[in-house]
């Protein structure tokens, strides 16, 4: 892996950096880092109009057809500018690549353009109350009735479902088949009759996760990806991209947090001391920098696999696992540097409670996109080649 930009990549980086300077004002994002949905939709459209959305997607589907290395550069410069992400991260990184891989020409033409522009937001309907991380244990049913699938069941932990227009939904269409063989994969209109979203307010106060209830929801027969019974294979395509391409975004986010941690450490504490003058604090910050670099280089390994094989390898599971625990540790360190004021909320905390919010939100990192326990099994079996534990 050559860590230097090629001439073309260097030119892209310079143009992107210049574009951010001309088009993005960091003060437009609230101090605590929580822009609202309308702001994110508008910003996502700005990114799309500038040609910075879908960089690695094939040109025939509205992308730029660039190498994954350009996406990595994009995330690096996004962090440097302290800019927010596109609102449709689930669509861009999960639904879109899955539709490209499995969708019909009609499905690609219908869904991909509005997904790229941010006009339509997607959510994921995989987890269920009774199955957790066991996707093959899904019990939400879809029964064919003429030209429609009739869907009944419940999903949970669906990020952005309260904002979403569409859902990638794993359902059981053949209850008599084996666990994996009886699944199918539907594209479901979240505004259809019978779809009910119940936001789950998190410890941050935000309703980012949701429950989704499906009661006799009629989904057009042609809204299936692949054939009936292909659901497990289609879902594996989704998860490969969730734990692969999104790893670049995770490490970019951690780098942004680290930059702000260093900035915080150089500011006077309430007692007038400078946290960075304390060697113990410097050691703790150094540990986080080392962890960040190890994640970045692991991402380069993933990038190499993407460039040579066309899809991410199991290294992405390592990144997600280590990132989630590193982010929890880093945000806890940042709050501790504030002394007693670290216990205050956005009405009195440093930077309007930026670190308080970030630490509370980080508690979900070791659960979402695969729990740490599941990821350790993946790493043990697929990376280290250890015997199956179950």
389/380 Cα distance (integer angstroms): 9
Q: How far is CA 201 from CA 160, 189, 198, 208, 328, in A?
A: 12, 23, 9, 7, 20
Secondary structure of 153-182 as H, E, C letters: EEEECCCCCCCCCEEEEEEECCCCCCCCCC
How far is the C-alpha of 47 from the C-alpha of 53, rounded, in Å?
6
User: Whole-angstrom Cα distance, residue 222 to residue 88?
Assistant: 24
- 255/86 Cα distance (integer angstroms): 18
Structure tokens at 366: 């070791």
- Cα 142–89–23 angle (5° rounding)? 150
- From the candidates 128, 242, 291, 315, which is the catalytic residue? 242
Respond yes or no: is residue 242 known to be catalytic.
Answer: yes
Residues annotated catalytic, as ranges: 242
């Amino acid at each position: 892996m050559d860590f230097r930009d090629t001439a073309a990549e260097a030119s892209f980086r310079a143009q992107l950096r210049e574009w951010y300077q001309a088009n993005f004002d960091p003060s437009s994002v609230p101090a605590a880092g929580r822009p609202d949905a309308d702001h994110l939709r508008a910003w996502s459209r700005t990114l799309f109009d500038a040609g910075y959305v879908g960089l690695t997607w094939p040109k025939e589907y509205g992308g730029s057809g660039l190498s994954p290395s350009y996406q990595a550069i994009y995330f690096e410069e996004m962090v440097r500018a302290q800019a927010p992400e596109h609102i449709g991260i689930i669509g861009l990184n999960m639904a879109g690549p899955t539709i490209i891989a499995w969708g019909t020409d009609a499905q690609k033409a219908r869904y991909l353009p509005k997904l790229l522009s941010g006009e339509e937001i997607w959510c994921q309907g995989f987890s269920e109350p009774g199955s957790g991380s066991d996707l093959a244990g899904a019990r939400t049913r879809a029964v064919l009735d003429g030209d429609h699938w009739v869907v009944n069941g419940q999903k949970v932990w669906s990020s952005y479902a309260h904002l979403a227009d569409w859902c990638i939904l794993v359902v059981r269409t053949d209850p008599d088949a084996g666990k994996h063989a009886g699944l199918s994969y539907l594209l479901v209109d979240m505004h259809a009759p019978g779809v009910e979203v119940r936001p789950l307010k998190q410890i941050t106060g935000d309703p980012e996760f949701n429950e989704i209830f499906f009661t006799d929801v009629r989904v057009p027969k042609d809204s299936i990806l692949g054939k009936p019974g292909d659901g497990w294979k289609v879902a594996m395509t989704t998860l490969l991209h969730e734990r692969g391409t999104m790893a670049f975004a995770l490490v970019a986010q951690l780098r942004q947090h680290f930059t702000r941690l260093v900035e915080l450490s150089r500011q006077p504490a309430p007692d007038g001391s400078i946290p960075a003058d304390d060697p113990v604090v410097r050691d703790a910050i150094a540990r986080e920098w080392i962890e960040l670099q190890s994640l970045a280089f692991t991402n380069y390994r993933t990038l190499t696999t993407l460039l040579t094989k066309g899809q991410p390898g199991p290294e992405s599971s390592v990144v997600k696992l280590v990132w989630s625990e590193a982010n929890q540790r880093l945000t806890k360190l940042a709050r501790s540097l504030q002394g007693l004021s670290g216990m205050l909320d956005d009405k009195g905390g440093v930077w309007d409670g930026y670190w308080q919010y970030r630490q509370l939100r980080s508690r979900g990192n070791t659960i979402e996109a695969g729990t740490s326990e599941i990821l350790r099994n993946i790493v043990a079996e697929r990376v280290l080649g250890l015997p199956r534990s179950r």
